[in-house]
Amino acid sequence: MSAVAALLGVLAVALAWPVPVALSRAAWPARAPGLALALWQAVALGGALSMIGCLVVIGTAPDGSITDAASALLPHLLTGPLPPEFGVIDLAALTLAAGLAVHLLLNVAATAVRAERERRRQHQLIQMLSDPMPGEPGTRVLAHPVPLAYCVPGLRTATVLTEGLVAALSRDELRAVVAHERTHLDQLHHLVLLSFRAWHSALPWFPIANRAERSVTVLTEMLADDGARRATGSAPLVSALSRLGSTAEPGAYADAGGIAPDREMLVDRLARLESPAGRLAPWAGALIVTAAALIVAIPLGSMLTILH
């Protein structure tokens, strides 16, 4: 039992600081943003499971398994007294584990509810204030002079361009921008960003949460750039980004509410589009996938060993 707790504790510390710091500073994610995004998700999920799992293992140590500890404690939670084999440290660990799990889940739920409410509001405004763009199904043009482009996800999706953007860009540049926004929608980037926004909201004092949300935002922008590049080639997108800058993207989505693209992100995206570094070697991709799987499997497997 102590070995399992130690393993989960070491993994939790590693995934809470050194691993995310190293990943946020690495250069290879620009060459494989999809794999990097999967690894970031594994780090977030594995870190949460490791933290909660370590506390659960410590708290259930007197009975040796989660099932036995639950059977011993639950009948006495309201009526008391608690079994004498559970000391202050055991009970504190279980309380912290339950509190952390509930806190994280509630933040995910609250963030999702706020995002859905904002998406509905945006869809209503779009229907009232914009017109369909000819030849581009699902794209709306908003009467506004400032050049902006964003998308609104949900059961109904919409890509929104302003009249200022349409006037500023050529036809090929507009196609590239629309393809970029549609890639966000098609690949459901809003769900990925929502989970990291919830993590940041749940642990605002945790510096790595901000770093993780920013890194994931950059990766989703790069994936959307790849979608536009497949549709129109690099040149129209580079031209559009160079002409308008990051100010034309208030966020990947109308409900973003978190980190929006900025000048530094734009520089990284343009450098990647203008000077492609090539794809990762197959063995490197396989290594990343294996690492992501292990990061999640180790805490899950450790918890299963003490389930019964």
Query: Can you spell out the DSSP letters for 274-307?
Result: HS---PPPHHHHHHHHHHHHHHHHHHHHHHHHTT
Q: Which residues contact 138 (CB under 8 A, 6 or more apart)?
A: 157, 158, 159, 182
Residue listed under structure tokens 């098609």: 186
| pLDDT of 95 | 94
Structural Rg of the chain based on CA atoms = 23
**251 pLDDT tier (thresholds 50, 70, 90):** low
Q: In 10 A of CB 88, how many CB atoms?
A: 7
Q: What residue spans define the domains of the chain?
A: 1-86+279-308, 111-277
Give the residue among 172, 248, 254, 259 at the shortest CA–CA distance from 220.
259
Residue listed under structure tokens 């510390």: 13
- Position 254 pLDDT exceeds 70: no
Average pLDDT, the chain: 91
Q: In 10 A of CB 214, how many CB atoms?
A: 18
CA–CA separation, 38 and 17 (whole Å): 18
| pLDDT of 57 | 93
Rounded to two decimals, the pTM is: 0.93
| pLDDT of 247 | 76
CA atoms within 13 A on the CB side of 80: 1
